Amino acid sequence: MLITGYIDVLSIVSHKVYDAAAHLMETASRLIPANTFCIANFDPHNTKVIKAFNRDKVMLNEGLVVANPESYCALVSRHAEGPLVIDNNLTHPLTKDMDATQFVGGCSFLGVPILDAKGEKYGSLCAFDHEYYQFTDKDIDLMVSLSEFFTRLLEMDDALEQLRASEEKTAKQMEEKANLLAVLSHEIRTPMNGIIGMTSLLQATELTEEQRGYTEVIELSGSSLLSMMDQILAYSRNEAESIELSDHPFRLSEVVNYIHTLFTHEAARKGLLFTSRLDHDHELVGDSNKLRQILINLIGNALKFTDEGGVDVTVRAEMGIDDIVVITCEVRDTGIGIPVERQELLFRSFSQVHDEKGTGKYSGAGLGLSICKQLAERMNGDVWLVDSRPQCGSCFACQIVVRQQQTATA
C-alpha cells in the first residue's frame, strides 16, 4: 500500500533526525564550555543516560541507570518547570545531601526538561562542570532550544507510531473484508449456480413464449449477479494487495487469439463486427493472465455499450532498454459514447457512468474499469480514455510493462 512506503520514509527520516540531534548536542558541548553533557530519559523509577559527551573528565557514561531519587536529571522533572541551574551542588539544598553528589563530585549543573507528545516529562538535557562553570543566559537559551527540538522529535515519533498502528488496523480490516467477501461470494455462488442450472433444465421443457421469457430473465439476472460478485471480490483483493503478479513466459499472439475467440461469438450474437490486430508477435515474460483480465473488461464494456457497428482491438509492443517491453492495447467501439460531464466518473469505484435513471439496461457493479486500472498500475502501466463522443463511440487504451524472453544460446 501507498501508506507503507510513506511510513518507511518517515522511519528513515526519524533515524536521520536522531543522528542530527546527537550532532547538535555534541555541537552544544563545544559552544558551552562545560565538561559533560548528557541526554537522559526517565520512567517512574529510573533515569537512563542515552547519550553522553565528556570533555576532560569522565563524569557520566552512556547507558548509566540511576534510581530517580539519586538522579540529577530527574531533579529537573521534580523540582523545576523550566531550566534548573545549580551553581554548586555541594551547597545547593536539592543536591548537597544526595548520594549521587559523592559520585559526580563537586560541580555546577544545568538541566532543561524534554516533553513527550502528550506534554509529559520524558527526560532532560543536562550539563555538568567540575570546575563550577557559571552558565550564562545564552547557554540556558541554547539548551532550552535543544530541548524543544527533542520534544518535536518525540512528537514526530509518536505520530509515526500512530500511523503505523493505524495502517496495521486498516490492513487487518481489509483482510477481514476480503475474507468476508470471499465467504459471501461462495455462499451466494452455490445457490445461484443451482438456480441457473435448474433454469437451464426448465428451458429444455415445453414452455409458452411468456414462460420462456421469464426463464431467460432469471438466467440473465443470475449470470449478472455472479459476474458482479466476481468483480467485487477481485476489487477487494486488489485493494488489500493480496493478488500477486506471476512471472511466466508467454507469446503475445496467444493472448490476442484467446481474446478474439472469446468475444467473436458474443459480437456475432449482437450483430456486431469484432476485429483484433497484433502488429508483431513477441515472446515475453510477465503476467499474461492479468493482461487478459484487463482486455476482457475493456472489450466486455465495449460490446455491452455497442448496439450497431463493431469493436476493434489493436495490440502493439515496443522494445525498450534492458529487455523492457511496453505493451499498448486500444479498444475502440462504435457505441453510445460517454458524455463529457460524466467522464470523470469512469475510473471511480462503484460508479455508474450510464443508466443513471435506473432502467437496468446497463446494470453492473461499476468496478470493471477500476479493476483494470488497478491491475495495469500493478504492472507499471495505466488505463485511460483516449476519446469518446456521445453516440459516436469510445476508445480506451491500456499499457503495461513486461520483459522480453531471453533466447537460450548454445
Residue 363 vs residues 110, 280, 360, 369, 396: alpha-carbon distances, Å: 74, 37, 5, 14, 20
Helix, strand, or coil (residue 270): coil
- The three cell numbers of residue 14 are 526519524
Q: Residue 353 has what pLDDT? A: 54
pTM over the 0.95 mark: no
Match 558551552 to its residue by C-alpha cell. Answer: 32
Q: Which amino acid type is present at position 359?
A: T
Spell out the residues 6+ positions from residue 122 whose beta carbon is closer than 8 angstroms to its own: 41, 114, 115, 116, 151, 154
Q: Residue 187 has what pLDDT? A: 60
Distance CA 164, CA 116 (A): 18
How would DSSP label each residue in 295-325? HHHHHHHHHHT-SSSEEEEEEEEEE-STTEE
**pLDDT tens-digit series, residues 49-82:** 888 888 888 888 888 888 888 888 888 877 657 7
How far from chain centre, in Å, is Cα 46?
39
Closest CA to 300 of 328, 267, 258, 337: 267
- Please answer whether residues 385 and 338 qualify as being in contact, where contact means their C-beta atoms are separated by less than 8 angstroms: yes
Question: Can you give the C-alpha Rg of the chain in angstroms?
Answer: 35
- Please answer whether residues 390 and 399 qualify as being in contact, where contact means their C-beta atoms are separated by less than 8 angstroms: no
Give the residue ranges of the chain where pLDDT is below 50: 1-14, 17, 350, 356-360, 362-366, 409-410
- Please answer whether residues 325 and 283 qualify as being in contact, where contact means their C-beta atoms are separated by less than 8 angstroms: no
- Please answer whether residues 139 and 128 qualify as being in contact, where contact means their C-beta atoms are separated by less than 8 angstroms: no
Match 518535536 to its residue by C-alpha cell. Answer: 152
Distance CA 74, CA 109 (A): 13
How far from chain centre, in Å, is Cα 259?
33
- Please answer whether residues 18 and 153 qualify as being in contact, where contact means their C-beta atoms are separated by less than 8 angstroms: yes
Beta pairing partners, 109: 86, 128
- Please answer whether residues 145 and 27 qualify as being in contact, where contact means their C-beta atoms are separated by less than 8 angstroms: no
Q: How many residues in the chain? A: 410
Beta pairing partners, 396: 331, 385
